[in-house]
Amino acid sequence: MFMILVIVVSISTLYFVIPAVSDAAEEPKTFLTHTGLAIQTTGDIIDPIGYTGELLEFDPESYLRDFDYGTVSELEDGTILREFTITARDDQVMEVSPGVFYNVWTFNGTVPGPTIRATEGDLVRVHFSNEGSKSHTMHFHGIHKAEMDGVFENVGPGGKFIYEFFAEPVGLHLYHCHVHPVEEHIAHGLYGAYIVDPKEGRAQADELVFVLNGLDTDFDGENNFYGANTVPFYYQHHPVEISTNELIRAYVVNILEFDPVNNFHLHGTLFHHYPAGTDTVPAGFNDMLTMSQGEREILEFEYKYPGLYMFHAHNTEFSEKGWVGSFLAKDTNKNISDEI
């Protein structure tokens, strides 16, 4: 009996020790990412060079102030028609962080999709094509007929559909794919902002779009990265340049999947906020805002003093995993009181 125990212990020792020794001795492999960064790892290299999809290049700097007003024409009755062409794909790959590649599903090749913009009362016509391998749709938040809701009219691979509705109500809305499982389609990136301007317009401002999102890169139902406009830490490394004493209007959309709430905290000043932008009277004056998934807010603020000011999620986990950025406020009207 004693000899049997000795043999068992010896085999167990070899089982646990030998693999550890071999792991420790394994040489790290080096490979070059698509951004030119050299990465070392002892694990398997999953490089999308051999992936059948197309590598996606996305610029959060351009997206920030890019609004798609569509192709504009006037109908016989005087109604303004805005036509948009939107294509869905699910085969693209994006380097979301150095050495981290993710299969993004896109509207017009970006995550988020284009910011669609119209004026109250315009007729919006969206020519939708599905070039993906799965069924997709476009569900717009707002007022429209049931057959334009993008829920029951799944568009299969290679399919097309025309969404048509009047732009209403005034405000900040969103659109996203509504094919089940919806969380999968949203988590991969099929969403974007939809703005309906009032006929009389809004006050002149430097306008910015922030779509708050996350990335579950290991598919365990929890986000590994967080961001504003997808790329973690982007606006921390590339501060958003603005001017002092100028009205800033931020269109903030929370489409974060897997986490119940998200938030937006602004340093150095406070903002007036308009829930969904559907009212002209602000709901409050604050520097902190919390939103559940699908909620939107229009924020209006100014910076009195020049400098570098942070904006981020006040949930520490989110900010430390990428949802953090900075505004670089440049002086436009310096005066003596600024020195006090």
Domains and CATH numbers, the chain: 57-335 (2.60.40.420)
Q: How confident is the model at residue 99 (pLDDT cuts 50, 70, 90)?
A: confident
Q: What is the mean pLDDT of the chain?
A: 88
pLDDT for 293? 96
What pLDDT, in 10s, does the model give residues 218-230? Answer: 999 999 999 999 9
Query: Taking residues 108-132, what's their average pLDDT?
Result: 98
Of 21-25, 230-234, 263-267, where does mean pLDDT reach its minimum?
Answer: 21-25
Q: What is the DSSP letter of 336?
A: G
Average pLDDT estimate for 236-245: 97
Residue-level pLDDT at 263: 97
Q: What is the pTM of this model?
A: 0.83
pLDDT at 241: 98
- pLDDT tier at 41, thresholds 50, 70, 90: low
Residue range 258-278, pLDDT digits in tens: 999 999 999 999 999 999 999
Say which range, 72-86, 91-105, 175-189, 316-330, has the weakest mean pLDDT.
91-105
Q: For residue 236, give the 3-state DSSP assignment.
A: helix
Backbone angles phi, psi at 62, to 5 degrees: -70, -40
In this prediction, residues 232-236 reach a mean pLDDT of 96
Quick one: pLDDT at residue 50? 37
Residue type, 285: F
Characterise 251 by phi-psi region: left (phi > 0), alpha (psi -120 to 50), beta (else): beta
Residue 332 has pLDDT above 90, yes or no: no
Give the pLDDT score at 336: 42
Residue 306 has pLDDT above 60, yes or no: yes
Mean pLDDT of 22-38: 48
Residue with tokens 């351009």: 62
3 pLDDT band, cuts 50/70/90, is: low
DSSP per residue over 80-143, as a string? EEEEEEEEEEEEEEEEEETTEEEEEEEETTBSS--EEEEETTPEEEEEEEE-SSS-B--EESSS
pLDDT on residue 171: 98
Using the Cα atoms of residue 112, residue 113, residue 115 and residue 118 in order, give the sign of their dihedral.
negative
